[in-house]
Structure 1
Amino acid sequence: MLVWLLLWLSGVWGQTDMREKLLAFPVESSTSYVRISPDRIDQYSEASICMRFHSNLTRQYSLFSMSTQSKVKAFALYYDPESNNEFLLSVSDSSQVYTLQGNDFTQWTSLCATWNSSVWGLFINGKYYKSDLVPNVRISGDPCIVIGQAQNKHCGGFNELESFVGEMTDINMWDKALTDENMMDYFADNEMSGNVINWKALNYTLHGEVTIKPYVDPYPCVEVI
């Protein structure tokens, strides 16, 4: 009973099957976020992240932030609608900027980001944005993975004006670059489980006002462009 109480007070819920659940970020804050413990801690020479989300925010915000002791933006996804509707994909403190077209993130959106030594890319509801001339980078060191805030230092430095407000679900990460077919499978609602972050067996800690809610349609069908 004491152990359960301590876990509840700390916000640690352990490994949980999150199917039919979502993460709700109700307010702008510098203290509300989810810390995820990866299933694998290793050096990465390629990786991918997929998620579904929606938000009514009209300012910049972070969707995914992984840092190490040496690289604040080891792997990060950042949206900036105020600057030409741009999306930033950062790996090992290097970034590629993608100018989006006609995206409405107020509706449920399916997103995948992937990178390796030759190609970095975003799939947003099936639309592909990619860069072929990319730096050959690696990620090494103990990762700190945060959802809902941008890390401006390792595991911290949060700014409420970069915080996410909205809902997320179906977050998975792999230690490989997904193929186009893999990502189209994700958009087609096939249940794909990551080997670094697995939504069906998620190790996480809630902080601040983030809550878990039921999701009546855990794999929303989105139109593939």
Structure 2
Amino acid sequence: VCSDKMKSSALIFLTVIATGLAGSVSIKSLVFSTETDTNYVEMTPLKPLSLSAFTLCMRVATELSGEREVILFAYRTREYDELNVWRELDGRLSFYLAGDGIFFDVPGLGPLESHLCVTWDSSSGASAFFMNGRKSVAKIFKKGHTTHPKGKVLLGQDPDSYVGGFDAKQCFIGEISDVNMWDYVLSDTTIKDMASGKRVTKGNVFDWESTHLDIHGVVDVVKREL
């Protein structure tokens, strides 16, 4: 009898371990180590970035501090900076659409990883940042606007021209991973679940697990478990 109980307990224990391992997710992470105007990663979207709404999320950590601009995401066509996400000189977070920007005073990024999302809906103009699943105040921005397709999406540098005109003093230094994008606004609950590590619907514009990354310069790719 004792032997049967021990076998049963061992089976349960192994099942729990297997379940835990099955629930883990291995993802790639990009490490930008130096201040340069040459290191960046180009992401290939799953569909054209003709966007009238979006949710953009990433996990990010940086030791950059003080009054320094930091580019977090850049999408540019030949004519415009279509969509840029920044940490500003004063530490605020912002995003820009076709040259105009909107600013959010949310807890600053730092060396401990943060899960960061930004949402925007053209029909209402409603926009917000989410930091580790917590939503900022909503602000109204660019009602009726749509981003243009046929551009380039870069991590690590801000292009002042079409894939060029980089400024080392604006580059990203740190670690970025789990960059996903949807062409609609996710619910607050879904963003909170994602921040806590739960699996959610894959991004239909960028899905980090399958998106092709074209690395330029020296950017290290490491594997990690979520």
Range into which the TM-score falls when normalised by the shorter chain: 0.7 to 0.9
The structure 1 residue matched to 2:138, chosen from 102, 109, 131, is 131
Identical aligned residues as a percent: 25
Displacement of 1:104 after TM fit? Answer: 4.7
Per the TM alignment, residue 131 of structure 1 is displaced from its structure 2 partner at its CA by: 3.5
- Higher helix fraction (1 or 2): 2
Distance 2:60 2:31 in 1: 10
Contact kept in structure 1, 2:128 and 2:136, CA below 8 Å: yes
Task: Establish whether residue 97 from structure 1 lines up as the match of residue 118 from structure 2.
Answer: no
Aligned residues of 1:92 and 1:138 also touching (Cα < 8 A): no
Name which of 168, 172, 194 aligns with 2:176.
Answer: 168
Give the corresponding residue for 1:204: 213
Q: TM-score, normalised by structure 1?
A: 0.82
- Normalised TM-score (structure 2): 0.81
- Give the superposition deviation at 1:138: 0.7
- Structure 1's unaligned 5+ residue stretches are 1-17, 220-225
The letter of the residue matching 2:194 is Y
Moved segments of 4+, more than 3 Å? none
Inter-partner Cα distance in structure 2 for 1:198 and 1:69: 24
Output the amino acid matched with 1:204: L
- Distance in 1 between residues matched to 2:185 and 2:219, nearest whole Å: 30
Q: Cα RMSD between the aligned structures? A: 1.6
SS in 1 for 2:136: strand
> Which SS does the other structure have where 2:177 is aligned?
strand
Partner residue, 2:153: 145
What are the Cα deviations for residues 16-70 of structure 1, in whole angstroms up to 9, with x where unaligned? xx93321110111100000011010152111111000111011221010011223
SS at match of 2:194: helix
AA aligned to 1:120 is: S
CA distance in 2, matches of 1:90, 1:190: 29
* AA partner of residue 135 (structure 1): K
For structure 2, which runs of at least 5 residues remain unmatched after alignment? 1-24
The alignment of Structure 1 onto Structure 2 pairs a total of residues equal to 196
Measured after TM superposition, the shift of residue 126 of structure 1 is: 2.2
- For 1:123 and 1:26, the matched residues in 2 are separated by 26
Of structures 1 and 2, the larger Rg is shown by 2
Residue 220 (structure 2) pairs with residue 214 (structure 1):
no
